[in-house]
Amino acid sequence: MSNPSPSPRHIPVMLRRCLDLLAPALALPGAVVVDATLGLGGHSEALLSTFPSCRLIAVDRDPAALKLAGERLAPFGERATLVHAVYDELPEVLEGLKVPRVQGVLFDLGVSSMQLDEAERGFAYAQDAPLDMRMDQSTGISAAEVLNTYPPGELVRILRAYGEEKFARKIVDAVVREREREPFTDSARLVDVIRQALPQAAKRTGGNPAKRTFQALRIEVNGELSVLERAIPAAVAALAVGGRIAVLSYHSLEDRLVKQVFAAGAAHSAPPGLPVVPEQYQPRLKLLTRGAELPGEDEIAENRRAAPARLRGAERIREDVR
């Protein structure tokens, strides 16, 4: 496996806006911030540089990312603690570090630059590679195993639910025919099968026709949505009052989950008809963004991977009252 330098190609998405959203909470002496998706460490480096009194806890499931980011963050010494974990394991991580509450949490969801750029990881449909797609290659099943072993009906469900693919049935029919002839091992063959399965009109719009299938396989292989369903509420629960959370999503399924958790936290939970909402039913979150904020044209021109980004932020304004 090649060992790329993390800096030249890695441009953190919506960096200035993320820092601005978190700033009021992280300016406090002794503040602790969690980067729940460390990747190559661009956001983490900026957090440590911008808020010189804060401590960072950074989590990633990818050992290769942890190694590269660790080198990048080494100058910050003990201010940075890097942990090999999936981000829904945040409660266990904080408990192990004896950190009861934090002042900030940042999620930058999706696939890291390193994972996209390393051909052997199999995330990118634009280059031939083994069909792996595991963010942690030491555990779990690969995309090839999913394609070669899942029942056709389950593959259709995955492509529809996780890829929002209108032609899921056509693609899966073609995949099943091909896997009976020879199991899938590489991405180029899958891309060819998808191209041949789709109607001509579908291939003329919306970019690479394999994009939605690859997204669906990646989400299935890494359990991304089920992990996110647990991770966002856990992160909100870990925030101290006055603490802030910022989440960068890259497709509508992720953004919808984040929106639902934030909206529920920002609404009161009182039974209908009460003339006054008691304290225990008051909202515990305040929304910091109007809907999802988008990257500007200048940022997209500089970093095309920022184009699909959607940013939401919230502040913890009340403890849970039992």
Sign of the torsion angle spanned by Cα atoms 208, 209, 213, 219: positive
For the stretch 113-157, pLDDT in tens is 444 445 554 455 656 788 988 888 878 899 999 999 999 999 999
Q: Is 10 annotated as contributing to ligand binding? A: no
pLDDT digit string, tens, across residues 41-91: 999 999 999 999 999 999 999 888 899 999 999 999 999 999 999 999 999
In this predicted structure, what is the pLDDT of residue 228? 95
Does the annotation list 87 as a binding residue? yes
Q: Which of 39, 51, 60, 104 is nearest to 79 (CA)?
A: 51
Q: Identify the pLDDT of residue 322.
A: 55
Q: Read off the pTM.
A: 0.86
Q: For residue 162, say whether it is annotated as part of any ligand binding site.
A: no
Mean pLDDT by 10 residues, the chain (322 residues): 44 94 95 95 96 97 91 97 96 97 94 51 64 85 96 97 94 97 94 91 72 92 92 97 97 94 90 77 93 95 90 94 59
Residue 139 has what pLDDT? 81
Consult the annotation and say whether 84 binds a ligand.
no
Sequence letter at residue 275? P
Q: Is 122 annotated as a binding residue?
A: no
| Domains of the chain and CATH, by start | 15-114+224-316 (3.40.50.150), 120-222 (1.10.150.170)
Task: Tell me: is residue 282 an annotated ligand-binding position.
Answer: no
Residue 134 contacts residue 142 (beta carbons within 8 Å): yes
pLDDT of residue 208: 79
Which pLDDT value is given to residue 126?
58
Note the pLDDT of residue 319: 87
Q: Tell me what pLDDT residue 114 has.
A: 47
pLDDT, position 201: 72
42 is in an annotated binding site: yes
